A and B are shown apart, each in its own frame.
Chain A
Amino acid sequence: MKKLVLLSLVFSLGTLVISAQDCDKTLTGKVIDFHDGTPLEGATISFNNETIMTDKEGNYMIKGLCPISYAFTVSHEDCNSQVVTIDISRVSKKDFYLEHHLNELQEVKVSGANDNQTNSAQEETIGENIIEKYGSASLGDALREITGVSSLNTGATIVKPVIQGLNGSRVLIMNNGVRMQDMEWGDEHAPNIDINTAGKITVIKGASALKYGGDAIGGVVVIEPNKAPVKDTLMGKTTITAASNGRGGSVSSEIIKSYESGWFIKGQGTLKRFGDFEAPDYVLSNTGVFEKGGSIAFGVNKFTYGWDAFYSYYNNEIGVLATSHIGNVDDLISSINSGQPDIIRDFTYEINNPKQDVTHHLGRLRYFKRFEKLGKWTTQYDFQLNQRLEFDIRRTEERDKIPSIDLELTTHTILSEFEFDAKSIYKLNTGIMARYQENFANPLTGVRRLIPDYDKYDAGIFVTGEYDINENVLLDAGIRYDFNQIDAQKFYLISRWEERGYEQDFSDIVTDRNVIGSQFLTNPVFEYHNISATAGVQYTFHDDYELRANYALAQRAPNPAELFSDGLHHSAARIELGDLRIDQETSHKVSANLSMNKEKWGWEVAPFLNIINDYILLEPVDTELTIRGAFPVWEYRQTDARLLGVDAKVFSNWHNNWRTDHSFSLVKGNEIDNDEAIINIPAPNFNNKITFSKPEWFNFKASLESQYYFEQNEFPNNFTVFSPDAGADVVLEINTPPDAYHLLNLDTSMQFKLGKKNELSLGLTVNNIADTTYRNYLNRQRYFADDLGRNFLLRISINY
């Protein structure tokens, strides 16, 4: 409908031009690639009978315009022509965003018509170029490109994103509009996502994007796929990566068929295989991965309505470093002291126990409709099935074949939202969500369940809005309410039940006191009411400056691990204890972001303060004796916490070909009561990059990056344990962080046109050029082995 209006405008405006006066207005700006923000050279802007072309920096200038509305047709090679109307009496500067090649071509985005997820929160987006670079790695690796995002690793292949010091259930991951339900509660559970499915990824640092959920105390990662263009075309892309470290690589391919009528179908698949990775001095035995993923989507995308169906499959078999499977605390002590892995075998592609085998199915149906002069209504249903198998080294070979952990998490979600966007000065978005989740812990493992069987019901309702006070000031605010109920079937050893003092507080939830193996069966049913809210302002001034300030209130209900963990977690070689008394945590986060962006240089400073009441943390507290020796005991507890930090960036274009980028991020996490440091707070890091680019040489780019990670000097106290080997009490240096380290990385790329439509990109990356030996504080395997050594990666990508 809108298009018709637009077209009729074009015709009527053509006649209007003749009768207008004072035709001395100028319109300037840039034409920019919507995805990676690169300026587009040779884009044309035509109106009436004139055509203007952009220069090398994507700039254009149109003189002699009258103070009326014009319809401009903006085009570029590989892109559909798009029509935009601009009222010259009010606007003299506009940037046009064009969707390039594989991407959505539905509408031209005019800057100001914001593409951000929020208006006032700290956020950053990575585009296709960076995603491609990490095609053979993982989502968590790619996200580290964003200042303030680090990762909690288990080895090199299990990578959980950490946003401004927070991870796990505090980081919400939206995959193609669906909130991932993939058992994010475990430290060694990485997101079940193939990074190659992403077209762009946005990280919102905090809980300000309320439409996705109210419990994102850490932040939200929004992963969006490449969209099918609305034109008759068949296109695709294949990326192949080969890596020296791990002696493997990945192949990923995507193909899209779309029609002018809005119909589209697309398919995508990835295969990734690595053998044992290598530290500078030795093979990291049993660290291979074998990942398989695929997705298919089809539907109709019209301006007034559309629907689509999407299904994706992900499976990953991940080896866990052999030497990290420790027997007892003495093994841990000797590992920490020797600094050398006990088990170093020859390189192999074989993945043995201990290992993880995780599978994620995701299905989604979505429908949207636009109502004239009102807005857009979207409704979707999604289904997720997540299966996690963890295989351990058990007492006999027969038992090795049976997983020690076998969990199946099934989730159904319905959501419906309405976006009132007809008025240009304000926008309102409101929606409701209902979710049912069932966890099934297979009893055939022969190991007591770490996470019990449970049913979980969630419901949420939100309203968010934004209001343009004037051209420079924009306000946004929102409120959300969530209800969670968890209904579990949990077995407790009677001795544990009594040791925790549950008999006094929870005797009414025991449903069977005569379970085999001296256990009680209990039926805990807990309900939580969570309120979240946000308010913020965006202020642009002096053309190049932008200030964002935001306050976010968020509440998060405890996850099943925090409530119910109890017992020896074999693969982590630690006893993990949850607590039924744990209540929800409440975060108050204040953040600001001041940035300046000129052509020659720019900078950004983003400080934040996050006060989390009843922050839930898991930390080592003691050891418990067993027949296998003593095991560290990790307990969940709650405390009031304060996270204070800053992310900062500077870039400078020194010369046509030379650019440097600098970034720094720092987080300090302390308990408010006693100022003690909080566990697993990332160490500060400082990145510097110099880039040489020469578009004439087939778009040649080369960059050298230096990453400096400081030593984390604020960490919780260690404690003493009795070591049977030493026959005495010794300090267990379980919290001591490793030394600071410095890494150098090189990245080069070139692009070649193949015929009219096709493009070939070549890239060579060398990570850890100096083959530096290092360990990272946020790698759970830092006690056992060094991190990755030098790695050469070659990637070839073809667009067709």
Chain B
Amino acid sequence: MNPRKFLAMFSAAATLVFTACSDDDDSTPVNDEELITTMEVTLTDGTDTVTLRFFDEDGADGPTAPTATVSGAFKASTTYNGSISILNETENPAENVNEEIEEEADEHQFFYVTDDLGITTAYTDNESNYEDANGNAFTSMNPVGITFTLTTTASTGDGNLRVVLRHEPNKDATGVSDGDITNAGGEPDVDWTFDISVE
């Protein structure tokens, strides 16, 4: 084959390749499916309610700094019933992330950690309160922590409450079922510390 012929062939092939690939389809947008904008911990003693709220409008990917608000002080020597709600408010209606956690209750656990003012927390739920994606209730009795209690002592002042959600924790490790995070392992999906006070 003479070189001119070959060159002609190759330029023809080139044109083919270049035109075949120039499809100008627009990209499909991706809305981060694991985005969390909002976390609300609601604590009530029957009469008063304290709300701890975390809000990050653009999620972990975005530059906007998250804000944390605490609606008021806790009363001394009081037991509060608590519950946690996690939302993705970039979706409309807002996505309730709790559902996803409940469906894999055996793989998730919340921790409410504090060393301050003698405050203690205790779980009030366990895996058997929740159903998996097929509608079957879990059978094990390990805590999940979507509901819990928080009890203050006579000490008053300022303190911290750290809220943690771990994915694939070792629920059988020492202390984990009592809410001790030390041996829990796993991966954090939530790890945020609120400034609280007891009056």
Interface residues of chain A, those whose CB is within 8 Å of chain B, are: 325, 327-328, 330-331, 342-343, 367, 369, 371, 377, 379, 381, 393-399, 410, 412, 414, 416, 434, 436, 438, 441, 443, 445-449, 452-453, 455, 489, 491, 493-496, 499, 515-519, 521, 566-568, 575, 624-629, 631, 724, 727
Residue of A342, A489, A727 with most chain B CB atoms under a 10 A cut-off: A489
Interface size range on B against A:
35 or more
B-chain residues with CB within 8 Å of residue A493 when the two chains form the complex: 58, 61-63
**B60 in the interface (beta carbon within 8 A):** yes
Of chain A, the residue at the smallest CB distance from B26 is: A489
A-chain residues with CB within 8 Å of residue B185 when the two chains form the complex: 342-343
Among candidates A381, A452, A624, residue contacting B10 with C-beta atoms closer than 8 Å: A381
B-chain residues with CB within 8 Å of residue A396 when the two chains form the complex: 100, 103-104, 107, 167
B-chain residues with CB within 8 Å of residue A626 when the two chains form the complex: 56, 59-60, 66
Please, how many angstroms separate the alpha-carbon atoms of A515 and B32 in the complex?
13
> Do B14 and A434 touch across chains, with their CB atoms under 8 A apart?
yes
Please, how many angstroms separate the alpha-carbon atoms of A328 and B18 in the complex?
45
B-chain residues with CB within 8 Å of residue A343 when the two chains form the complex: 185
Of chain A, the residue at the smallest CB distance from B35 is: A517
Whether A496 touches B21, Cβ cut-off 8 Å, given contacts A627-B56, A629-B191, is no
> Do B33 and A447 touch across chains, with their CB atoms under 8 A apart?
yes
Summed over the interface, the residue pairs from A and B with CB atoms below 8 Å come to a total of: 154
Please, how many angstroms separate the alpha-carbon atoms of A343 and B13 in the complex?
54
List residues 57-84 of chain B with CB under 8 A from any CB of chain A. Answer: 57-66
Closest-CB distance, B154 to chain A (whole angstroms):
24
> Do A519 and B29 touch across chains, with their CB atoms under 8 A apart?
yes
B-chain residues with CB within 8 Å of residue A331 when the two chains form the complex: 188
Whether A491 touches B188, Cβ cut-off 8 Å, given contacts A393-B167, A496-B62, A518-B58, is no
> Do B66 and A625 touch across chains, with their CB atoms under 8 A apart?
yes
Whether A327 touches B191, Cβ cut-off 8 Å, given contacts A436-B18, A438-B21, A521-B29, is yes
> Do B39 and A495 touch across chains, with their CB atoms under 8 A apart?
no
Among candidates B64, B104, B162, residue contacting A495 with C-beta atoms closer than 8 Å: B64
A-chain residues with CB within 8 Å of residue B189 when the two chains form the complex: 395, 628
Whether A367 touches B6, Cβ cut-off 8 Å, given contacts A395-B189, A414-B13, is yes
> Do A517 and B29 touch across chains, with their CB atoms under 8 A apart?
yes
Residue of B17, B35, B193 with most chain A CB atoms under a 10 A cut-off: B17
Per-residue CB contact flags for chain B residues 97-119 toward chain A (1 = under 8 Å, else 0) read: 10010011001000000000000
B-chain residues with CB within 8 Å of residue A443 when the two chains form the complex: 27-30
B-chain residues with CB within 8 Å of residue A445 when the two chains form the complex: 30
Whether A328 touches B191, Cβ cut-off 8 Å, given contacts A393-B167, A412-B21, A521-B26, is yes
> Do A516 and B3 touch across chains, with their CB atoms under 8 A apart?
no
A-chain residues with CB within 8 Å of residue B193 when the two chains form the complex: 724
Of chain B, the residue at the smallest CB distance from A624 is: B63
A-chain residues with CB within 8 Å of residue B62 when the two chains form the complex: 493, 495-496
Please, how many angstroms separate the alpha-carbon atoms of A442 and B78 in the complex?
52
> Do B33 and A399 touch across chains, with their CB atoms under 8 A apart?
yes
> Do B26 and A491 touch across chains, with their CB atoms under 8 A apart?
no
Please, how many angstroms separate the alpha-carbon atoms of A449 and B14 in the complex?
30
A-chain residues with CB within 8 Å of residue B66 when the two chains form the complex: 625-627
> Do B107 and A448 touch across chains, with their CB atoms under 8 A apart?
no
> Do B34 and A628 touch across chains, with their CB atoms under 8 A apart?
no
List residues 155-178 of chain B with CB under 8 A from any CB of chain A. Answer: 160, 162, 167-168
> Do A327 and B56 touch across chains, with their CB atoms under 8 A apart?
no
Closest-CB distance, A493 to chain B (whole angstroms):
5
Whether A628 touches B188, Cβ cut-off 8 Å, given contacts A448-B30, A518-B90, is yes
**B22 in the interface (beta carbon within 8 A):** yes
Of chain B, the residue at the smallest CB distance from A367 is: B6
Whether A446 touches B56, Cβ cut-off 8 Å, given contacts A379-B6, A496-B62, is no
> Do B190 and A414 touch across chains, with their CB atoms under 8 A apart?
no
> Do B162 and A724 touch across chains, with their CB atoms under 8 A apart?
yes
Whether A446 touches B32, Cβ cut-off 8 Å, given contacts A412-B17, A568-B61, is yes
Give 7 pairs: A residue, B residue, CB < 8 Å, sorted on A. Answer: A395-B100, A412-B17, A414-B14, A443-B28, A447-B33, A489-B27, A519-B31
Please, how many angstroms separate the alpha-carbon atoms of A381 and B10 in the complex?
8
Q: A434-B14, A447-B32, A519-B29 are in contact. List 7 more A-B contacts (CB 8 A).
A: A369-B3, A393-B168, A396-B103, A516-B90, A518-B90, A626-B60, A628-B190
